Every structure is written in C-alpha cells, then in structure tokens.
Amino acid sequence: MKKILTAALMLLMALQLGAQSKEVQSLLKNYDKFKSQTQDAKRGSRPATWISYAQTLTGAYSYPTNNLWIGLSALEAKVVLKDQRALSTEFRDVQGEQYEVVKYEDKDLYYNADGKLSFWIITKPVIEGINMLDQAYQAYDKAAELDSRGSSKADIQEGLTFIANNFINDAMAAYTLGNFADASVKFEKSFIAASHPALNVVDTTIVYYVALTALMDQDLPRAVKFFDKCLEMGFESAGDTYANLAEAYKQMGDVEKSKELLSMGFTKYPDSQSILVALINTYLESNDDPNKVLEFIQLAQRNEPNNPSLYYAEGNVLKNLDKFEDAIRLYEKSIEIDPNFFFGYFQLGQAFYDKAVDIQTAASDELDDQKYMQMVEELDVMLEKAIAPFEKSFELVQDDEIRTVVVEYLKNIYFRLRTKSPEYEASYEKYNKMLEQ
C-alpha cells in the first residue's frame, strides 16, 4: 500500500512539473518567435510586433511569482502555490530584521516577523542571460516610436507601468537586503520607465530614493547628481534633500559647500531637525564659532525637547568653552531625559575626570603647602564624582573598544583612591584584572 501511495505521489509531482514546464516552454517559444519578428524588416516596422515581444518578456519575468503579492500570509502563499513544492525553509537575519526564507526551485520568498510576505528574489528566471525588464522597456520604447497614430498607446502605457512598478519592487528587495547600489540603479530604471513620454508619470520621490540609496552605498558623485536633480524638480522633502546633499559634499571633503547647502536649507526649513543636526555636527567638526553652534543647538532643543543628544552636544560645546558647571548641568539633563543614554554618563564622568587632571596640573606648580593640600582634596572629590557615571557607562556599553576605555578610566581613578577604603582597593583590582585579561 505504501509503495502504491509513493508511486501515486511521484506521478502527481511529475504531472505538476510537466504542466509547469509546458508553460515555460510556451513562453520560451513565444520569446524566440517575437524576437525573430522584431528583426524582420516588415514585421519589425509594426508597433504590435514590439508590443507582443515586450509582453512575452514581462510574462516570462513575472511567471515565477504569478498570483503572489506583498503582504500575503504564508498560508495564503501555500494555497496560491499549491502546485509548487518548497525545497527548504530557513531563518535569516537581514539588516537586523529576522525573516523566514522559503526556497522554491525558482524563487526565495521572504516572510517578516508577522508572517507576511515582504519581498521575493527570483533565483531561476525563465529567460536567463538577459534583463527581461530592460529588454521589455526597450521594446515598448520602439513600439512608441513606431506608433505614429497612437493606436497602441493604451498597451504601451500598461506595459511601461508594469515595468516601473516591478523595478520598484526589485529595488525595495535590494534595499532590504542591503544591496544599496543595486537598489539605486533599479529605482532609477523605474523612474525612466514611468517618465517615458508615452506614459509621462514623473515621480520625484523615486528620484530621491535613487539619490538616498546611492548615498548609503557611498557612491557620492551619483548621490550628488540625483539630489541636485531633486532640487531642480522642486522635491526638497521638507529640508531632507538639502541635509543629504550637504552630507554627500561633506563626505567628499567639500565642507564649505556642505555649509552653504545647510544654511540655504535652514533658511527655507528652520524647523527641519535633520538640517539642524547636520549644521551642529558640521560646525562642531570644523571648530567654527561656538556661539553659532550653540544657537543651532538651542533651536534644535526647542523643536525636540526630549532628545538627550542635543543637551549632550550643548554640554560638549560649553565644556570646550571652560564652562564646567554649565556643561555638567547639561550632561545631567541628557541622562535625566534618557536614563540609559550612554554618552551622557560617559561624558559626565570624563568631565569630572578632566577637571581632576586640570587640578592636578595646577597643584604640581603650587608652592603653598596649605593650598596644595586643598587642591589635592578637591582632585579626589572630582575623581569620586566621576565614579558613578563611569560605572553606569560600564553597565551600558556594548562596544568592546569603548568598554576598554571606560575600564581604563575606572582603573586609574580607583588606583588613585585605593588607599582610602578596602572597597576602592577591591575595585582597582577588579578593573586592573579586566585590562590584563
């Protein structure tokens, strides 16, 4: 009985695979047929020939994922793909997100944490060795050129829309996988297809995505080119286009151009947090007028009062201006807003530590014994104040290199204070041992 069932199952699978194979064979046959017709002098002069060729290409392109859609549940997909057998299933971490990847003979389906189809990758295209969407676009372009009377306009528009939408789907899949260069190219191809004169749908958002993914890929000249195109087309994304274009120029080493763009963007979008943060960072990194930096930071704080980084940034500027008490107050404000804000704790500890070092330097030049002893006591007080924030930093830190820096600070502090109590001596031994290990 078991052998009969196994044989029946194998026969059913063979029939299913055979049916699928016939569809593929039909697509390949039509591909060869219409490709040959486009090369014929008479048939190749007709718009219909190129449209049929393009439709065969798009049909072959979409065949592996026919009837699938983004957001489909895994159960629904099994129903849709009832005649196809999944080869394997695995879980994969993609850009920090967990996906269930279901592999078929010709595609991989990626399901998100909610069990919904997020995107797919075609692993075995029907027609290999060519980009089917590219070829289909060229065919529709040729059909539009030949369609002098406009009788095929509807078919051409439908085809170009299909191509533009599927290039977006492929771009989003590449983006999710972290293939930013591929995503940028595919977003551009989507824009080209949609903005073809026969369709004339100009989506400036897609141009922005072209530029943004190029920036993420560190292809800075390409990013500049398309962010500039966004500005030419009037797409400024509430200031984000200026901020990102400025970032591209800054990474290229043109800080002055970056400042020029940020100032221009700030004038038009004074409430844009991305521009404000970029302005703050650029002025801080280039050691420009600190009062100008403070002006930007304080404006950013009014727009975003619960952002601990902004108070931390102001504290850094004030610390560099030797306004120690004001800097301490702002570091404390940053960790009051976010009790787990590592940088606030670390900088607070470092501010006390640096103050102790300054006192030690001054004490070494002091000739009056009484004043010297007072300074030594003040030095120890500052070091003791640094302990709690550094200990909290040690608790929060994840990065091994930064962790080592925190341990070094704590070891030095406890070494200085080790004779004051057995607890300090034990802490010194603990952190010293960590560094030795």
Question: Is the pLDDT confidence value at 115 over 80?
Answer: yes
Q: What's the rounded mean pLDDT across residues 379-396?
A: 93
Q: What's the rounded mean pLDDT across residues 101-129?
A: 95
Question: Is the pLDDT confidence value at 363 over 90?
Answer: no
Instruction: Find the angle CA(143)-CA(38)-CA(133) to the nearest 5 degrees.
Output: 60
Q: Which residue has the higher pLDDT, 428 or 291?
A: 428
The residues that bridge with 119 in the sheet, in sequence order, are 110
Residue 327 lies inside a defined structural domain of this protein: yes
Q: Are 152 and 53 within 8 A, CB to CB?
A: no
Three-class DSSP category at 409? helix
- The set of long-range contacts for 209-212, using a CB threshold of 8 Å and a minimum separation of 24, is 209/171, 209/183, 209/184, 210/184, 211/184, 211/241, 211/244, 211/245, 212/244
Mean pLDDT rounded to a whole number for the chain: 89
CA-closest candidate to residue 196, choices 68, 54, 49: 54
pLDDT the model gives residue 270? 64
Residue 58 lies inside a defined structural domain of this protein: no
Question: Is the pLDDT confidence value at 394 over 70?
Answer: yes
pLDDT band at 3 (very low <50, low <70, confident <90, very high): very low
CATH of the domain at 399: 1.25.40.10
In what helix (H) or strand (E) does residue 75 lie, and over which residues does it extend?
A: helix 74-80
Q: For residue 411, what are the domain limits?
A: 306-437
- Residue 144: partners with Cβ closer than 8 Å, 6 or more residues away: 47, 156, 196, 197, 198
269 half-sphere exposure, CB direction, 13 A CA radius = 18
pLDDT the model gives residue 290? 74
Q: What's the rounded mean pLDDT across residues 352-356?
A: 93
Type of residue numbered 6: T
Residue 330 lies inside a defined structural domain of this protein: yes
Kindly state the percentage of the chain with pLDDT values over 70. Answer: 95
Q: Which residue has the higher pLDDT, 301 or 137?
A: 137
Bridge pairing between strands 88-94 and 97-103:
antiparallel
Rounded distance between C-alpha atoms, residue 152 and residue 155, angstroms: 6
Question: Is the pLDDT confidence value at 13 over 70?
Answer: no
**Token pair listed for 41:** 């002098």
What would the pLDDT profile of 280-321 be if each residue is shown by its tens digit? 778 777 777 777 778 878 887 888 899 898 898 888 888 878
pLDDT the model gives residue 251? 94
Residue 189 lies inside a defined structural domain of this protein: no
Rounded distance between C-alpha atoms, residue 241 and residue 76, angstroms: 40
Question: Is the pLDDT confidence value at 5 over 50?
Answer: no
Rounded distance between C-alpha atoms, residue 236 and residue 207, angstroms: 11
What is the residue whose two structure tokens read 């043109």?
Answer: 254
CA-closest candidate to residue 166, choices 201, 119, 203: 119
Residue 63 per-residue DSSP state: G
Q: Are 283 and 316 within 8 A, CB to CB?
A: no
Q: What is the maximal distance between C-alpha atoms in the chain?
A: 107
Burial of 110 (0-12, 13-18, 19+ CB in 10 A): buried
What would the pLDDT profile of 233-252 be if each residue is shown by its tens digit? 999 998 999 999 999 999 99
pLDDT the model gives residue 365? 78
pLDDT the model gives residue 294? 81
In this structure, how many other beta carbons lie within 10 angstroms of the beta carbon of residue 279? 26
In what helix (H) or strand (E) does residue 117 lie, and over which residues does it extend?
A: strand 117-122
Q: From its phi and psi, is residue 382 left (phi > 0), alpha (psi between -120 and 50) or beta?
A: alpha
In this structure, how many other beta carbons lie within 10 angstroms of the beta carbon of residue 234? 8
Question: Is the pLDDT confidence value at 259 over 60?
Answer: yes
Computed from CA positions of residues 424, 425, 428, 434, in that sequence, does the dihedral angle turn out positive or negative?
A: negative
CA-closest candidate to residue 111, choices 58, 50, 70, 145: 70
Residue 123 lies inside a defined structural domain of this protein: no
Instruction: Give the chain's domain count.
Output: 1
Residue 60 lies inside a defined structural domain of this protein: no
Residue 386 lies inside a defined structural domain of this protein: yes
Question: Is the pLDDT confidence value at 200 over 70?
Answer: yes
Question: Is the pLDDT confidence value at 208 over 90?
Answer: yes
Type of residue numbered 204: T
Rounded distance between C-alpha atoms, residue 320 and residue 50, angstroms: 69
Instruction: Find the angle CA(299)-CA(303)-CA(306) to the nearest 5 degrees.
Output: 110
**Roughly how many angstroms between the first and final C-alpha of the chain, as a whole number?**
66
Question: Is the pLDDT confidence value at 7 over 70?
Answer: no
pLDDT the model gives residue 247? 94
- Which range, of 50-59, 119-128, 293-302, averages the lowest pLDDT? 293-302
What's the chain's length in residues? 437
Residue 109 per-residue DSSP state: E
